């Protein structure tokens, strides 16, 4: 009788949460947007009239204040009009002026920066948070997962979790679809280009990949926090795995299988990557077609990329990479398989790209996505997002 009463109470509480989830998520999203508008954006005045994109401590390049202001205005018009070609000629002229300035100042091409690396046990979670998460400084933790399991391969995962839902790009229709993990393993990129698997739909993944170990590295109010979302990235095929792009949240990436060559570029140098005015504001992509190294196919048309300082390094199974919100990155698989876990946390950090964050507030897709994620969190079922292929915005034109 007592068990029946508890079950009924649990059902009633779950019902209330389901009813209130969306309204509460809407209120939370509005409050967040107001806080952003007032404190970070300062009613967009700081966003549009300051040359620096975000955090201090990153060396600036002589792009020219007027040029940056012009690019911000042009991209705003493209974003609001949903027409990435609007004012295209004006944007090209501005980018040409920036190129001339970089050449006149003798700025070196393809300058490689040094990224902090730590061996196992060399950095504690509190120091990691103070020096890297809070200050938005990337770093690599070598061998974080110890000896990465030999079972961390697509074939073995498909045996263990065959019916787990995966988001993939259907080559035939050029649409994002949902498929089963065993289908992806059997297909081997014949008809599908696998993208990612939402781990929150299957709690067994948390234990399998020891994700709770990372919680202490992202404290909120002094206590360990869980990631808002976590994914298994399904990178198959040697060569370019992802062209230059950036996302709105800090990333904790655990290399699972295979090795990857990573390139990171600070958000301060966003204008050198020709950011596309497309999408719902949750991600930004470089606005050029890439060659097999992720660089512009037509380098004469997109010469600014060469002037962007970058971090370059390899990650191997068991290594962890942390990089802040809006940091541009591309990856090249050094093996036929390159799987990795990416976790998105909300621990307080320095603003890394105020302008891109400002464009978010002017994106209907951002509001929709926020409500979806928060309402799923309130209901206690983040796995609901697995069925929403729109949530995983992709630049399908790359494939």
Task: Tell me the C-alpha distance between 341 and 206, whole Å.
Answer: 10
CATH number of 112-352, picked from 2.60.40.420, 1.10.3720.10, 2.60.120.650, 3.40.50.300: 2.60.120.650
Give residue 387's pLDDT: 54
* Closest by CA position to 136, among listed 350, 399, 374: 350
The average confidence (pLDDT) of the chain is 87
Q: Model confidence over 372-387: pLDDT tens digits?
A: 877 877 776 665 665 5
- pLDDT band, very low/low/confident/very high, at 253 (cuts 50, 70, 90): very high
Q: Comparing 47-51, 199-203, 238-242, which segment has the lowest mean pLDDT?
A: 199-203
Residue pair 184/166 in contact by the 8 Å Cβ criterion: yes
How do the domains of the chain map onto residue ranges? Answer: 112-352
| Dihedral sign (CA 104, 284, 141, 292) | negative
Q: How confident is the model at residue 10 (pLDDT cuts 50, 70, 90)?
A: low
- Residue 101: is it exposed, middle or buried by C-beta count within 10 angstroms (0-12/13-18/19+)? middle
- Total length of the chain: 399
Give the pLDDT confidence of 87-113 residue by residue, as tens digits. Answer: 999 999 999 999 999 999 999 999 999
Say if residue 116 is exposed, middle or buried (CB neighbours under 10 Å; 0-12, 13-18, 19+). middle
List the helix and strand counts (H, then E) for the chain: 10, 15
pLDDT for 214 equals 93
Residue 312, CA distances (Å) to 110, 140, 150, 309, 398 in order: 10, 11, 26, 10, 22
pTM for the model: 0.91
pLDDT at 192 over 50: yes
pLDDT score recorded for residue 392: 46
Residue 27: partners with Cβ closer than 8 Å, 6 or more residues away: none
pLDDT tens-digit map of 304-338: 999 999 999 999 999 999 999 999 999 999 999 99
Question: What is the pLDDT confidence band of residue 394, given thresholds at 50, 70 and 90?
Answer: very low
Whether the per-residue pLDDT at 396 is higher than 50: the answer is no
């Amino acid at each position: 009788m007592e068990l029946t009463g508890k079950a009924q109470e649990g059902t009633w509480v779950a019902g209330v949460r389901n009813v209130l989830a969306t309204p509460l998520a809407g209120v939370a999203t509005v409050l967040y947007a107001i806080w952003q508008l007032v404190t970070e954006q300062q009613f967009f005045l700081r966003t549009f009239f300051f040359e620096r994109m975000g955090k201090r401590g990153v060396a600036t390049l002589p792009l020219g204040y007027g040029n940056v202001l012009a690019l911000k205005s042009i991209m705003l018009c493209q974003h609001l009009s949903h027409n990435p070609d609007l004012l295209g000629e004006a944007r090209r002229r501005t980018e040409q002026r920036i190129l001339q300035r970089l050449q006149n100042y003798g700025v070196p091409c393809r300058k490689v920066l040094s990224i902090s690396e730590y061996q196992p046990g060399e950095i504690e979670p509190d120091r990691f948070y103070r020096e890297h998460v809070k200050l938005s400084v990337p770093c690599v933790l070598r061998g974080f997962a110890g000896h990465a399991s030999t079972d961390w391969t697509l074939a073995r995962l498909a045996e263990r979790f065959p019916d787990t839902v995966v988001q993939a790009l259907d080559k035939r229709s050029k649409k994002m679809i949902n498929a089963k993990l065993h289908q992806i393993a059997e297909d081997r990129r014949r008809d599908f280009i696998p993208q990612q698997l939402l781990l929150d739909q299957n709690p067994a993944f948390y234990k399998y990949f020891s994700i709770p170990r990372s919680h202490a590295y992202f404290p909120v109010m002094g206590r360990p926090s869980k990631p808002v979302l976590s994914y298994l990235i399904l990178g198959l095929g040697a060569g370019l795995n992802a062209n230059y792009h950036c996302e709105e949240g800090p990333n904790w990436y655990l290399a699972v299988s295979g090795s990857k060559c990573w390139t990171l570029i600070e958000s301060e140098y966003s204008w050198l990557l020709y950011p596309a005015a497309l999408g719902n504001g949750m991600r930004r992509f470089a606005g050029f077609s890439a060659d097999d190294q992720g660089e512009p196919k037509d380098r004469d048309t997109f010469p600014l990329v060469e002037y962007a300082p970058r971090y370059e390094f390899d990650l191997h199974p068991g290594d962890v990479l942390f990089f802040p919100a809006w940091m541009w990155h591309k990856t090249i698989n050094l093996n036929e398989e390159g799987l990795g876990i990416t976790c998105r946390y909300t621990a307080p950090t320095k603003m890394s790209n105020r302008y891109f964050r400002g464009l978010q507030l002017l994106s209907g897709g951002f509001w929709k996505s926020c409500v979806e994620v928060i309402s799923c969190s309130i209901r206690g079922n983040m796995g609901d997002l697995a069925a929403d292929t729109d949530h995983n915005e992709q630049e399908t034109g790359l494939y």
